[in-house]
A = this chain, B = another copy of it.
Amino acid sequence: MSEEQENDMEQLIDDCISEKKYGEIAEKLQECLSEKKYAEVKNLLSELNAVDIAEIAYEIEDDRLPIIYRLLPKELAADVFVEMDTEQQELLLRKFSDKEIKEILSGLFLDDTVDILEEMPAALVKRILKQADKETRDSINSILSYPEDSAGSIMTTEYVNLKENYTVGDAFEKIRRTGPDKETIYTCYVTDKSRKLVGIVSARTLLLSSPDDNIADIMETNVISVDTHTDKEYVAREIQRYGFLSMPVVDKENRLVGIVTVDDAMDVLREENSEDFSKMSAVTPSDKPYLKTSVFKIFLNRLPWLLILMVSATFTSFIISRYEDALLNLSVTLFACVPMLMDTGGNAGSQASVTVIRSIALGEAYPKDVFKVIWKELRVSLMLGAVMSVVCFGKLMIIDSIYNPMTPYVALTISIALFITIVLAKLIGSTLPLLAKKIKLDPAVVASPFITTIVDALSLIIYSNIALALLG
């Protein structure tokens, strides 16, 4: 390849990457492969970042993927493997020789290995573990034994461990010797003889100290740590809150057993946010991007919720049927405002519920705050209810009257019902998530759609009764 061609290619790659046109690079790679231009494939791959290669790999045909993977520069292979989709990891692992599996294993960090194993079928896991040395196998099994969603399940045991009696020079010596296998060397952990965590020291502090300084003198002793059984989302939020690059994980005896790194924390938070978005819109969360999820899977994720909510709407139908004749006798126009009432109730409720659910997720509100929340929402809803019902009254008399003539009494009835609906919706919307949390249910699951159903039913009953009382 001439230098000009090479520059052209580099430009092409830069453009594709910055515009996320992975398909184009994938095509180019497969074209080179068909023409047996292996050197060019290698060259192209070496220009790319592991994360981008994994995205490109997704666009490559299954039978070509192993060939392209084998053409990867050695130092990139493990990094690319970690970033790939489960399906592609499985495909590759099935094609790999025992020797290749061994190579991959030695290139992976422990926590990544565990993540991958958790998704693989049992037979494949067995074959993979066979290639691991005993120490690795033991570490993997211990991490696998922690509960799902616990700090233990996402931690890595590959951290830099220093002793109190080390000097800075000793520390550097240890980092140089063991560093290549450690997930991070930027925060080093100091333990005593019984492996209890006594301090941390950052690579920054080490670099800015003199080689003769004692670790015990320069280490930070106010150490914040989490337990192996702490919820992983809590750990991720604490890493974010404190701005840590990693968080130490200790067992019940305060012995250091691993660390959780900031990149894994970011992944946990992203997943959690996506899950919350899904749940709030009544969809079973999926761990795959929308456009990569199959139609049937999307169908399955959405169906049960739609069904449950449709069936629960039987309630509202029942209530309407019960009051229908009575209301029709009062005024035919009362029905026209039912959707407005219900939608406003639903919106008012979800404003409160989403706010509270988000506060719970961020660790800003707890079930113990329920009275604070009720007091707050009560005042907010009284203000909102007042303004909304006044505007509603005006709207009914000025706009709606044009096509739907009504007496001021009817408009008043609707406005009062709106006021009560807003207050109720806010109180239910804000307290239900806290109650859910209290009884260890997922606050996001009880969110908007369910609250809408409850508020719908209540507001219809209130509306009908007010109408009967005022107009009957």
A residues touching B (Cβ–Cβ < 8 Å)? 17, 20, 47-49, 51, 172, 175-176, 179-180, 185-186, 203-204, 207-208, 222, 224, 240-243, 245, 262-263, 265-267, 269-270, 273-274, 276-278, 280-283, 289-291, 295-296, 298-299, 302-303, 305-307, 309-311, 313-314, 316-318, 320-322, 324-325, 328, 332-333, 335-340, 342-344, 346-348, 350-351, 353-359, 362-365, 369, 372-373, 376, 379-380, 383-384, 387-388, 391-392, 395, 399-400, 403-404, 418, 422, 448-449, 452-453, 456, 460
A372 to B290, CA, bound (A): 11
If A336-B317, A364-B290, A372-B291 touch, does A172 touch B207 (CB 8 Å cutoff)?
A: yes
- Contact of A399 with B179 in the complex, beta carbons under 8 Å: no
Chain B nearest Cβ from A459, distance in angstroms: 10
Q: CB distance B400 to A314 under 8 Å?
A: yes
> How many angstroms between the C-alpha atoms of A362 and B274 in the bound complex?
9
In the bound complex, residues from chain B placing their C-beta under 8 Å from that of A380 are 295, 298-299, 302
Cα–Cα, bound, A376→B296 (Å): 10
Is B204 within 8 A of A317, CB to CB? no
> What is the CB-to-nearest-CB distance from A317 to chain B, in angstroms, rounded to a whole number?
4
A224 B49 Cβ-Cβ under 8 A? yes
Which one of B314, B358, B422 contacts A277 once the chains associate, using CB atoms below 8 Å? B358
The answer to whether residues A278 and B355 also contact, given A185-B207, A186-B203, A318-B403 and a CB cut-off of 8 A, is yes
User: A460–B273 Cα gap in the complex (Å)?
Assistant: 34
Q: Which residues of B contact A307 (CB under 8 A)?
A: 387-388, 391
A270's nearest neighbour on chain B, judged by CB, is B240
A313 CB contacts on chain B under 8 angstroms: 339-340, 343-344
* Chain B residues whose CB sits within 8 angstroms of the CB of A281 once the complex forms: 280, 347, 350-351, 353-355, 448
Query: Who on chain B is nearest to A273 by CB?
Result: B273
A242 cross-chain contacts in B, Cβ below 8 A: 49, 51
Given B291, B337, B359, B453, which contacts A376 in the complex, CB threshold below 8 Å?
B291
Instruction: Tell me the interface secondary structure of chain A in the complex.
Output: helix
Whether B180 lies near A208 (C-beta < 8 A) is yes
With the chains together, A412 CA to B270 CA distance in Å?
43
From A207, A280, A325, A395, name the one whose CB has the most chain B CB atoms within 10 angstroms.
Answer: A207
Asked if residues A291 and B365 are in contact (CB atoms below 8 Å), the reply is: yes
Contact A204 B185 (CB under 8 A): yes
Which residues of chain B are near A359, meaning CB under 8 Å?
289-291
Closest chain B residue, CB of each to CB of A359: B290
> Which residues of B have CB within 8 Å of A350?
281-282, 448
Question: Which residue of B325, B340, B353 is within 8 Å of A332 (Cβ)?
Answer: B325
Shortest Cβ distance from A465 into chain B, in angstroms? 17
**Alpha-carbon distance between A365 and B20 when the two chains are bound, in angstroms:** 11
Q: Which B residues lie within 8 Å of A302 (CB)?
A: 348, 351, 380, 384
Kindly provide the distance from the CB of A310 to the nearest chain B CB, expressed in whole angstroms.
Answer: 5
Q: List 30 A-B contacts (CB under 8 A).
A: A175-B207, A176-B208, A180-B208, A186-B186, A203-B207, A240-B266, A243-B263, A273-B273, A281-B350, A281-B355, A283-B355, A290-B358, A291-B372, A291-B373, A302-B348, A306-B348, A306-B384, A311-B391, A313-B340, A314-B395, A314-B400, A316-B340, A317-B340, A318-B404, A320-B335, A321-B403, A324-B332, A325-B332, A339-B460, A343-B456
